[in-house]
Structure 1
Amino acid sequence: MTAPMADNPIFAVAAKAQALRAQGANVITLAAGEPQAATSTVVVEAAVDAVRDPAMHHYGAAQGDPALRAIVADAISGNTHLAWEAEDIQIALGAKHALFLALQTLIEAGDEVLVALPGWPGHTEVVTAAGGTAVPVATDEGFRFSVQALEHCRTSHTRAVILSSPGNPTGAVHPAAHLRRIAHWAQRHGIWIISDDIYRAFDYTGTYQSLLRVAPQLRDRTVVVGGVSKEHAMTGWRIGWLAAPQDVIASARLHVSRTITHVPTVNQRAALAALGDTATPARAASDYRRRRALIVEELNAIDGIDCPLPDGGMFAFPDVSALLRDRGWTSSADLAAWLLDTAHLAVVPGEAFNAPGRIRVCFAVDDDTLITAIERLRTALAPTQHAMTAPQMEVAR
């Protein structure tokens, strides 16, 4: 019997925040990896209409609704100048499920998949769930992969690399030159690239490029993963997809058919409406750009915190190592636990991303929430405050 997998350490933060709320505490969370906003009315109304449609009350296609697959294919084609068709798309229960469907096709026991360090723990977890071994690859000062680092970690068992741009938690965007070098390296060694594009709508520097737009020659060894969760504030709806060569799609379709049968039809109709709504992601990106500037400025105004301006995504990822030394904390988990207990402010410690000495702060919240959170943070970390030794937060290390 195999050992149980560790749960995502970010969930420990959410669980403790929820426990405090249950006790009556007014907790503000900047720890969630999701927009605070509600799903748009357009999407909700489409879902209500679908619920009332008797056709939606029955089994659907394992590969997904043809209309949804067609609009996903069009969107990906527009980003790559390659012709994707509905048959190249598999609808999944969110992007995490899409990653799993790809990996269960591409890897076998003993195969290795390269993942970013620091990086989202879900990438490591999904590789493990699919039976592979996740190998962390140290990123450069801008939190990007270099070919040298990838080559250093490559072995005869390396099967794939997961590339996320913009990344979580770093917000790093791989510019075209980086992607081109990575593509040539992958092609030379016969390595698959799984491009996790879930944050693609949130590019604040204008440098984002899809991998296959830069390197269309990798079409036959690339899986593109996406979904509506982040850009349409639909994390709870669980609609994602993968675009891939036909053999990968055939395997994914069979896996869905044998396990979940199909993704709920009503949710797919909601996603179809979402992909027809370009205003919501554009408005969110504009709001996040402004809030990104605000939180980074405020974090950098606190002694002991050094926060780079993220290229994209929904998170700031400041270095708090100097603050830890000044206050006598041994880890960012100590700081996160103290902030939650003292200021009722939830952030994610860097240990969750294999980045000790950092914290992740989500700015995909409304202005009032962000301003109040900043006030709590500034007050809690004011020089006159004496930070006692904080209790350890339950975070996997």
Structure 2
Amino acid sequence: MTESDNPIFQIADRAAALRATGVDVITLAAGEPDLPTATHIVDAAVDAARDPRNHRYGPAGGLPALRSRIADDGHPDHITADNVQVTVGTKHALHLALNALTSPRDDVLVLRPSWPGHLGAVDSVGATAVQVDVDQDGLASTTALEAARTPRTRAVVIANPSNPSGVLHERGLLADLAAWCVDHDIWLISDEVYGGLTFDTHRFSASNVVTDPSRLIVVDGVSKVHAMTGWRVGWLIGPTHVVANARRQVSATITHVSTIPQHAALAALSTPTAVHATTIEGYRTARDLLVGRLNTIPGVECPTPAGGMFAFPDIRELLDDRHPSSASLASRLLEDAHVAVVPSEVFNAEGRLRISFAVAHERLSHAAERLVRALTEGPT
């Protein structure tokens, strides 16, 4: 699929065109908060920029203070700064990990539906992505993984919580998946960039639940939880030999992640717990508002996401000859209701829409009203 025929790009282009004519388009399509980065984080970056020590080259692995803070951020004691590589966002972390662990002859299991970046990361290292369907609850299973496994399988990529569905693999299931990986000498790559946005359980990492971490890689970043998508700071956590490989890749290509955003990330990870709790409560309120409104629409079934920033309603009963796909329905919603959402074809799934609730509550409420009106009235 090219950018020209990818529904998400088509909708983004059309939304921009409508705005240019003065139409009030509400975008619930972006995978990022619409909030600004917190002032104390910005101030930390400004202070770092004024310090001449940060005008020089830095270590390829990342700032020692940041690596130590990452290691201490809810991970078990055996994880230290030596297990951490700072990266240019989570995409970069995925690429480094897969490049260290796979070759062009290898297979990587990727869940369906899932974020297109997972397929892109596999493709970027020349490996082959094998898509594995989740069950009716949106969860992976060892049965499905086993059915897809071949002698070439080297890794499994799981986002927890999921993008697009917000489904959370709980501790017991995640431990079972990790144990299956160890049994078959397969790496589990746990994408936890939405891990700080869980609403009905305390945050946890795969690093907390596996009994054998020898085949575990965790990737994460400050983008989502701290509204820092543009700052481009992520990280990879894993065994030291994988981290060493990733560090060599960084040194040979980008030298190191820009130092000043790393200081901002350190400030973000040092944010008081009470501030984070307030953020979570705001997201929970927004989630409940959106899911509640969507479930008033006849023919729409919207599960309550356990984490992340998206609702993923099933809209198959609304499809018909005029609008036979979620892509065509999403296009109508943009044209008629002036709300931009993402069709599930983007995630290799059918009959759903991904709708962000990471927007200001007043705008979200207006958007929800528009969606309810448009989807209740039916196609025009």
Contact 2:178–2:216 (Cα < 8 Å) also in 1: no
Structure 1 residue 194 and structure 2 residue 189: aligned? Answer: yes
1:359 maps to a residue whose letter is L
Alignment of 1:214-229 (within 5 A): 214-217=209-212, 219-229=213-223
Q: TM-score, normalised on structure 2?
A: 0.95
Cα gap change, 1:207 to 1:285, in 2 (>3 Å) = closer
Q: Equivalent pairs: percent with the same residue? A: 50
- Residue by residue, what CA displacement relative to the aligned partner does 1:172-226 show, whole Å, maximum 9, x if unpaired? 1111221122122111100000111111111122176422222131x12111101
- Residue by residue, what CA displacement relative to the aligned partner does 1:64-117 show, whole Å, maximum 9, x if unpaired? 111111100111xx33x3321112111001011111110111110021111111
1:146 corresponding residue in structure 2 = 141
Structure 1 residue 263 and structure 2 residue 260: aligned? Answer: no
Cα gap change, 1:9 to 1:67, in 2 (>3 Å) = farther
Cα gap change, 1:280 to 1:8, in 2 (>3 Å) = farther
2:108 corresponding residue in structure 1 = 113
2:156 corresponding residue in structure 1 = 161
Alignment of 1:234-313 (within 5 A): 234-278=228-272, 279-313=274-308
Once residues 256 and 37 of structure 1 are traced to their aligned partners in structure 2, the CA distance between those partners, rounded to angstroms, is 31
1:169 maps to a residue whose letter is P
Alignment of 1:19-30 (within 5 A): 19-30=17-28
Contact 1:113–1:159 (Cα < 8 Å) also in 2: yes
34, 56, 59: which is aligned to 1:58? 56
Secondary structure, in 3 states, of the residue corresponding to 2:287? helix
77, 85, 110: which is aligned to 2:80? 85
2:45 corresponding residue in structure 1 = 47
Once residues 31 and 275 of structure 2 are traced to their aligned partners in structure 1, the CA distance between those partners, rounded to angstroms, is 18
1:13 corresponding residue in structure 2 = 11
1:37 corresponding residue in structure 2 = 35
Once residues 322 and 282 of structure 1 are traced to their aligned partners in structure 2, the CA distance between those partners, rounded to angstroms, is 37
Secondary structure, in 3 states, of the residue corresponding to 2:70? helix
Cα gap change, 1:14 to 1:281, in 2 (>3 Å) = farther
Contact 1:192–1:222 (Cα < 8 Å) also in 2: yes
Q: Which runs of 5+ in 1 are unaligned?
A: 389-397
72, 75, 93: which is aligned to 1:74? 72
Q: TM-score, normalised on structure 1?
A: 0.91
Q: Deviation at 1:280?
A: 3.9
Q: Deviation at 1:52?
A: 1.1
- Residue by residue, what CA displacement relative to the aligned partner does 1:270-303 show, whole Å, maximum 9, x if unpaired? 1011110034432221111111111111001011
Secondary structure, in 3 states, of the residue corresponding to 1:270? helix
- Residue by residue, what CA displacement relative to the aligned partner does 1:14-46 show, whole Å, maximum 9, x if unpaired? 333223223322111000001111100000111
CA RMSD across the alignment: 1.9
1:392 corresponding residue in structure 2 = none
Once residues 214 and 316 of structure 1 are traced to their aligned partners in structure 2, the CA distance between those partners, rounded to angstroms, is 27
Q: Deviation at 1:343?
A: 1.6
Once residues 171 and 126 of structure 1 are traced to their aligned partners in structure 2, the CA distance between those partners, rounded to angstroms, is 21
Once residues 181 and 28 of structure 1 are traced to their aligned partners in structure 2, the CA distance between those partners, rounded to angstroms, is 41
Once residues 331 and 175 of structure 2 are traced to their aligned partners in structure 1, the CA distance between those partners, rounded to angstroms, is 41
Aligned length: 379
